[in-house]
Structure 1
Amino acid sequence: MWKGNALTRSSTRSALVVAATLLAGVIAPTAAQAQVVPDAADAAYVMGYFKESLNGGGNVNAVHFAVSNDGLEWTPLNNNDAILTPTTGTRGIRDPFLYRLNDGTWVVLATDIPVGGDFTRPNPNIHVWTSPDLVTWSTDRLLNVNWTNPASYSWAPAVHWDPVRRAYGITYTTVPQGYSYSVINVVYTTDFVTTTTPAVFHDAGSGILDSHVVTGVGGQNYLYYKSNATLRLVGTRSSSVEPRSFREYTSGVVENRCTEAPTLVKSLTSNTWRLWGDTFCPNAKFDLWQGDLLSGNWTKVSRADYTAPLNGKHNTVHPVTTADRDRMVARYGTTSWNRLKSYNFPGHYVRHASNAGVVTEQPFEPFQDSQWRIRPGLSNPSAVSFESVNLPGRFLRHQGFQVVLAANDGTSGFAADATFTREAGLADASWSSFRSVNYPTHYLRHSNFALRVDPVSTATDRADATFHIGH
């Protein structure tokens, strides 16, 4: 522990936690052990998130993970079910944050709020999990980061390394005593068991929330957050990482008044940075920008170019090695279902609605209507058939050239109507198109957002008949 400005607060059961941590092989680095794992080893990404659906039926306040090779197309692990389930505090989390420590081990922090909980209820605690390898996790524990503000909350914890203090900064949103608006606070820790006294890290003069600090880029350090005054994801920077040293250098980005939770991540193949933004109106929808962190110039990324996990909320993205990615996939498995995204309406997905095949803009309810198991074709196993996840035994088939969801009646006619040959996308060969096996000049396409099988001749037809298979 430090002397002087000492580490003065401990999480409950700290002795048990330290013992359990040592037994698990997760040892927090001392200042002398601070060696950064080389970025050159990273070749993939992991995303953490919790889940919310449009009407709340799909809300899961637990930590989920997805993996990606390019940081754009994401495959949920564990069938998009929870991987870290909170067992203490309110037994619910929001706003997870994943960070690789200097010794190569990992920590996940999260806000302590249950499903349906009161966001503004005073709570000084956050959740902490640690891991040596992203698959062996410590038990869930609470860390009190905000004991000097007994009347406020502790939202959206995030981690950065402070090379001067030789410690990790934990930033979070709160309303300090004497304030009438939220700021970004900070505590420092070397072990995620004890912390320094909370202090204001950034005060914008009006309410702000959801911080992400990125250090050591072009000789500068960057802090992004949501401004309640401008409703934008604002960028600030500083030549140090000292509290109150950051100054705005870009007004940032915004999609709508509900855009929040900025998440910065650098491309592994270029100098490009990406900026993720969450939204709560509606839920279950991420926006993405890419650009230059140094200049703060950002360009919106088309939804055709990325697919976030279904119902994902307030994400955290971190580069990982291929070994990390493969270990997570081997331990948790991937996802047994798929979604089909429209090429020319890339926010829209194939779904069934009142037994009709349609494409609808996400988010919608029931969200399960867009989940499909892609089976070997009922009439030709080298082709495919689309079985509904939430209505198993029912398949997309054409009937009078309209596409409907119907129960498999076991006849050869049904099997033929429900079977499609997958081909390179007619509008984009990296996507997919699906040709009817019993009407081989007809393709699955949408027209006025209704699914049909039709001949394809124009550029619009080809775009309507092109889909991305993802999750």
Structure 2
Amino acid sequence: MSSAYLMAYFTSETHADGEQIRFAVSDPGNPLRWTPLADGAPILRSTVGEHGVRDPFLLWDDARSRYVILATDLRVHTDGNWHRAVRTGSRALVVWESPDLVNWSEPRLVTVAPDSAGNTWAPKAFRDPERGVWTVIWASALFDDHDDRTRGTHQRLLAADTTDFAEFTPARIYFDPGHDVIDATFIHEDQAWFRFSANAHAPGNPAHIGHHIYAERGTALEDPNYTAVAIDVGRPELERGEGPAVFQSADGTMSYLLIDEFNLRGYQLFELETARLDTGAWRHLPSAELPPGARHGSVIPIPLDRRDEMIRRFR
């Protein structure tokens, strides 16, 4: 097989270096078997912003021949204060770039959220071929100008465009259903876009609804009328889920979904039961040997020579 998979992830705020970026590579062509690089130690560390990073998102920018990582600028281990994190946390994201997955730039902090944002969580970027830009989407709680922020507000999805991950357009609201929605990620297949998110759904739903992954289908990245494909992917196999990471095999014949069973087992792997994403039929693969403690990250296919070089470099 000519390719493997690369996972970027973080582990936990319960230990001092958990909120830094780790890498793992799969066996050739096999997303069920993973080897953490550097024996599971962090490979990229943030020296900017809050000096902690979560939710790393990997992409290949073909126009600039660069791999890029976007991550949440957040360190919870220091004070455990989620009240602070969602009200006066970072408005920025952390960016790394690399030509080869081995040699990485220093981290840089890029402010993308407006002054009214209390946080900037789980950034992800998707190429808009028609406009020739990357659309970066993240979750923020927004507050009024004179709000003392003693009371919280719901998380909604914001977006901004970039061509170089250095300069961004002003943030705009991408999706605001009136209740919490975070961790949105997408995959494009044929003429459709599929969106996966941790969406609390409308208040008043049964108590067991809205604690897993919400899957939708649209005609474009910014289609305002996505329709539900599956309401709670991961139930009943998982107690709860967030941080979805969806990816396909290099030949496009198989689709996989990682779901973070946060504060419990971390990432769990699911495989699409059919060839069509719009069926929403995912099968849990509990035998998958995932990196210990892996949480909320992303996966991309990489050539085997890149995999082998990463293993040599990050022993």
TM-score range (shorter-chain normalised) is: 0.7 to 0.9
The alpha carbon displacement at 1:202 in A equals 2.1
The 5-angstrom pairing of residues 315-354 of structure 1 reads 315-333=297-315
Structure 2 contact 49–109 (Cα < 8 Å) conserved:
yes
The alpha-carbon distance between structure 1 residues 296 and 180, as it changes in their structure 2 partners (threshold 3 A), is: farther
Structure 1 contact 234–251 (Cα < 8 Å) conserved:
yes
The runs of 5 or more residues in structure 1 that have no matched partner are 1-40, 334-471
The alpha carbon displacement at 1:245 in A equals 4.3
The corresponding residue for 2:267 is 286
The alpha-carbon distance between structure 1 residues 46 and 233, as it changes in their structure 2 partners (threshold 3 A), is: same
The corresponding residue for 1:214 is 187
The amino acid across from 2:18 in the alignment is V
The alpha-carbon distance between structure 1 residues 176 and 162, as it changes in their structure 2 partners (threshold 3 A), is: farther
The alpha carbon displacement at 1:59 in A equals 5.2
The alpha carbon displacement at 1:72 in A equals 1.2
The alpha carbon displacement at 1:246 in A equals 2.8
The alpha-carbon distance between structure 1 residues 300 and 64, as it changes in their structure 2 partners (threshold 3 A), is: same
The amino acid across from 2:109 in the alignment is L
Residues of 2 paired with 1:81 and 1:132: CA distance?
22
Residues of 1 paired with 2:76 and 2:17: CA distance?
7
Query: Residue 213 of structure 2 is aligned with which of 219, 229, 233?
Result: 233
Query: Residue 168 of structure 1 is aligned with which of 131, 134, 138?
Result: 134
1:418-462: CA deviation from partner (whole Å, max 9, x where unpaired)? xxxxxxxxxxxxxxxxxxxxxxxxxxxxxxxxxxxxxxxxxxxxx
The corresponding residue for 1:85 is 45
The alpha carbon displacement at 1:170 in A equals 0.8
The alpha-carbon distance between structure 1 residues 148 and 133, as it changes in their structure 2 partners (threshold 3 A), is: same
The corresponding residue for 1:464 is none
The corresponding residue for 1:66 is 24
1:183-229: CA deviation from partner (whole Å, max 9, x where unpaired)? 111111001111011112222332111011223x1211121100123
1:106-163: CA deviation from partner (whole Å, max 9, x where unpaired)? 000110111425331332101000011101111100011102424x100001111011
Residues of 2 paired with 1:159 and 1:133: CA distance?
19
The alpha carbon displacement at 1:60 in A equals 1.5
Structure 1 contact 66–309 (Cα < 8 Å) conserved:
yes
Structure 2 contact 101–306 (Cα < 8 Å) conserved:
yes
Residues of 2 paired with 1:211 and 1:42: CA distance?
30
The amino acid across from 1:271 in the alignment is T
Matched, 1:249 2:229: yes
1:32-61: CA deviation from partner (whole Å, max 9, x where unpaired)? xxxxxxxxx9611000011128xx247511
Residues of 1 paired with 2:161 and 2:155: CA distance?
20
Structure 1 contact 252–298 (Cα < 8 Å) conserved:
no
Query: Residue 55 of structure 2 is aligned with which of 87, 91, 95?
Result: 95
The alpha-carbon distance between structure 1 residues 270 and 122, as it changes in their structure 2 partners (threshold 3 A), is: closer
Structure 1 contact 50–315 (Cα < 8 Å) conserved:
yes
Structure 1 contact 127–142 (Cα < 8 Å) conserved:
yes
Matched, 1:224 2:196: yes
The alpha-carbon distance between structure 1 residues 100 and 42, as it changes in their structure 2 partners (threshold 3 A), is: farther
The corresponding residue for 1:302 is 285
Matched, 1:75 2:35: yes
* Structure 2 length-normalised TM: 0.84
Structure 2 contact 234–284 (Cα < 8 Å) conserved:
no
Q: Whose RCO is larger (CA < 8 A, sep 6+)?
A: 2
Structure 1 contact 237–248 (Cα < 8 Å) conserved:
yes
Count how many residue pairs are aligned between Structure 1 and Structure 2: 287
Structure 1 contact 159–213 (Cα < 8 Å) conserved:
no
The runs of 5 or more residues in structure 2 that have no matched partner are 145-151, 202-209
The alpha-carbon distance between structure 1 residues 188 and 270, as it changes in their structure 2 partners (threshold 3 A), is: closer
Matched, 1:140 2:140: no
The corresponding residue for 1:108 is 69
The corresponding residue for 2:122 is 156
Report the 3-state secondary structure (helix = DSSP H, G, I; strand = E; otherwise coil) of the residue aligned with 2:305.
helix
The amino acid across from 2:69 in the alignment is V
Structure 2 contact 214–228 (Cα < 8 Å) conserved:
yes
The amino acid across from 1:199 in the alignment is R
Query: Residue 3 of structure 2 is aligned with which of 43, 50, 67?
Result: 43
The amino acid across from 1:129 in the alignment is W
Structure 1 contact 156–173 (Cα < 8 Å) conserved:
yes
* Structure 1 length-normalised TM: 0.57
Structure 1 contact 153–174 (Cα < 8 Å) conserved:
yes
Residues of 1 paired with 2:6 and 2:185: CA distance?
17
The corresponding residue for 2:206 is none
Structure 2 contact 91–120 (Cα < 8 Å) conserved:
yes
Structure 1 contact 89–112 (Cα < 8 Å) conserved:
yes
Taking only the aligned residue pairs, the percentage that are identical comes to: 26
Aligned Cα RMSD in Å? 2.1
Structure 2 contact 155–181 (Cα < 8 Å) conserved:
yes
Residues of 2 paired with 1:330 and 1:175: CA distance?
42
